[in-house]
Amino acid sequence: MVEIIIPFKPHSPKSRLSDVLSLEERNKLMNYMLLDVIDTAKECSKDVVVLSSGKIGFAVGCEVIEDSRSLNEAVNSVIDKNVAIIMSDLPLLTREVLERFLRCEGDVVIAPGRRCGTNMLLVRDERFRVSYHYGSFIKHVKIAEMLGMNITIFDSFYAWVDIDDRNDLLELMIHGEGRSKHYLEKIGFRVDYKKDPILCRMQNSEVHTIEKSTG
Amino acid sequence: MVEIIIPFKPHSPKSRLSDVLSLEERNKLMNYMLLDVIDTAKECSKDVVVLSSGKIGFAVGCEVIEDSRSLNEAVNSVIDKNVAIIMSDLPLLTREVLERFLRCEGDVVIAPGRRCGTNMLLVRDERFRVSYHYGSFIKHVKIAEMLGMNITIFDSFYAWVDIDDRNDLLELMIHGEGRSKHYLEKIGFRVDYKKDPILCRMQNSEVHTIEKSTG
């Protein structure tokens, strides 16, 4: 049975969302995304652990390990012969996608994220070490190569879309099905499909258009 | 044998790239992306056709149909019992991804793109009609449902990333392997991995940093 580790940082700032969500809303969204990922993980494994950098103030329904060290130190201390490390801000992840990921062959399976990130890692060789941040996808490929390991790149947009800015909220509203999407709906978010889809928010009976980022 | 149709618009403006590429460079990049997609398509089918809205001024190495009508009219006129419609700005598409796509079951297989777009469509029922633009992914799902067809959503980030703005150029530089990536390298583009990966361009012996879009 694969162990699924979900690193989590309570009160993560997600500051690129600060122009469309208040601090409280951002925290709630982060928490709902964590719960979405836990739900999906529990459908695929009985051994799901949240690896949190601090105290979590709500029930998550699975084991929690608190470890205040850096993300890399904390994750490397739990690397094992059969462990998957899944980021907590992947609310589009579904059981089917995670099952396909866990079935992939290879000593190391990497699901890349935007800007050279690593959204999911499956490690079947305990010598592997993670190095998140600063182009981790390329770094993880190089680490595995240096250790002579077989690598599989996992191709999925559901695993690729993490929630970092307002464009991602649009993707969550279009493709999401879990609690994070329902939370956004509850606080007034809608997609206007009249022309090119745009994110809107109902506030005080008014519709506010949330423009996309300028390229 | 599936017929692969690649719609193409010569001299597409791609105006969201105008702050980092000149008009001539944008046109060249579009052409190289088309050639990349044709290369990949020809590895999967002997029946590859470019459906162009106007005259193409260079050799593409496959059949070209010129049709100046709207994208929807042109594509609907070639819908058949076994046809795949692949957008021309998907330079990360590989043979493996396209083969996996073509193997999917369903009367209609849809590979979504960003902002509710449709990047690839596989149609096995000639009653299906396309409706691109304005949230086409949702529209294509609805059209297939209304016609009682089985739909498969194809999950791939290589098929998801089209080239629309400078953030996409970074993804092309990180994950690309074909002519479009080499063209960007040739005109000076590099990725600086010292911290968070950023796109740079060498021009007149100087390195210019291309900042990411603000969220």
DSSP annotation of B120 reads E
DSSP annotation of B213 reads P
Q: What is the pLDDT of residue B60?
A: 97
Cβ count near A28 (within 10 Å): 17
Say if B46 is an interface residue toward chain A (CB within 8 Å).
Answer: no
Q: What is the pLDDT of residue B215?
A: 39
3-class SS at B184? helix
- Does residue B102 carry a pLDDT above 90? yes
CATH 3.90.550.10 residue ranges of chain B are 3-153
Give A179-191 as a DSSP string.
HHHHHHHHTTEEE
Residue linked to tokens 């088309």: B34
Q: What is the pLDDT of residue A11?
A: 83
pLDDT in tens, A84-127: 999 999 999 999 999 999 999 999 999 999 999 999 999 999 99
- Test B135 with A214 for CB contact under 8 angstroms: no
Residue type, B117: G
Residue in A164, A166, A215 closest to B164 by CB:
A215
The strand pairing partners of B151, in sequence order, are B108
Note whether B95 and B81 are within 8 A (CB).
Answer: no
What ipTM, to 2 d.p.? 0.94
- Test A115 with B170 for CB contact under 8 angstroms: yes
Residue linked to tokens 């100087």: B206
3-class SS at A76? helix
**A-chain residues within 8 Å CB-CB of B160?**
157, 160
Say if B215 is an interface residue toward chain A (CB within 8 Å).
Answer: yes
pLDDT in tens, B168-179: 999 999 999 999
CB neighbour list of residue A137: distance below 8 Å, 6 or more residues apart: A110, A112, A113, A116, A117, A118, B174
Q: Which two tokens stand for residue B138?
A: 């949702």
Q: What is the pLDDT of residue A215?
A: 39
| Alpha helices (H) along chain B | 23-44, 71-76, 95-103, 136-146, 166-175, 179-186
DSSP annotation of A26 reads H
Average pLDDT, chain B: 95
> B40-69 in b/e burial notation, b at 16+ Cβ within 10 A?
bbeebeebbbbbbbeeeeeebebeeeebee
DSSP annotation of B167 reads H
Note whether B47 and B127 are within 8 A (CB).
Answer: no
Q: How far apart are the first and last CA of chain B?
A: 44
Phi, psi at B71, each rounded to 5° = -55, -45
Say if A103 is an interface residue toward chain B (CB within 8 Å).
Answer: no
pLDDT in tens, A179-213: 999 999 999 999 999 999 999 999 888 999 997 76
Average pLDDT, chain A: 95
Could you tell me how far CA A11 lies from the centroid of its own chain?
15
Q: What is the mean pLDDT of residues A3-19?
A: 92
- Does residue B12 carry a pLDDT above 90? no
- Test A116 with B174 for CB contact under 8 angstroms: yes
A171: closest chain B residue by CA = B115
Whether the CA torsion A200, B213, B185, B183 is positive or negative: it is: positive
Q: CATH for B3-153?
A: 3.90.550.10
- Test B174 with A215 for CB contact under 8 angstroms: no
Please, which pLDDT band fits residue B13 given cuts at 50, 70 and 90? confident
- Test A171 with B114 for CB contact under 8 angstroms: yes
Q: In a mutagenesis test of the A interface, which of B116, B131, B157 is the best target, namely the one with the most A β-carbons within 10 Å?
A: B157
Q: What is the pLDDT of residue A19?
A: 92
Residue B161: C-alpha distances to residues A60, A130, B20, B90, B113 (Å): 33, 26, 18, 6, 7
Give pTM, 2 decimals: 0.95
Q: What is the mean pLDDT of residues A52-56?
A: 97
- Test B134 with A167 for CB contact under 8 angstroms: no
Q: How many residues does chain A have?
A: 215
Q: What is the mean pLDDT of residues A41-45?
A: 98
Residue B177: C-alpha distances to residues A34, A152, B20, B197 (Å): 34, 17, 21, 18
pLDDT in tens, A12-32: 878 999 999 999 999 999 999
CB neighbour list of residue B104: distance below 8 Å, 6 or more residues apart: B122, B152, B154
Residue linked to tokens 């981790």: A136
Q: What is the pLDDT of residue A38?
A: 98
CB neighbour list of residue B184: distance below 8 Å, 6 or more residues apart: B29, B169, B172, B173, B176
Q: Which two tokens stand for residue A55?
A: 């105290």
